[in-house]
């Protein structure tokens, strides 16, 4: 099954 991605791996903290 595909694994749920995480927002923090796409958008970085500023």
Partner 1 sequence: MLELRLVQGSLLKKVLESVKDLVNDANFDCSATGFSLQAMDSSHVALVALLLRSEGFEHYRCDRNLSMGMNLNNMAKMLKCAGNDDIVTIKADDGGDTVTFMFESPTQDKIADFEMKLMDIDSEHLGIPEAEFQAIVRMPSAEFARICKDLSSIGDTVVISVTKEGVKFSTRGDIGTANIVCRQNTTVDKPEDATVIEMQEPVSLTFALRYMNSFTKATPLSNQVTISLSSELPVVVEYKVAEMGYIRFYLAPKLEE
- Residue numbers at the binding site for partner 1 (CB under 8 A): 1-14
Residue partners of 7: CB distance under 8 A and separation at least 6: none
Tokens 């595909």 belong to which residue?
Answer: 2
CB of 9 to partner 1, least distance (A): 7
How far apart (Å, rounded) are the C-alpha atoms in residues 12 and 1? 26
């Amino acid at each position: 099954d595909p694994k749920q991605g995480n927002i923090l791996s796409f958008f970085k903290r500023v």
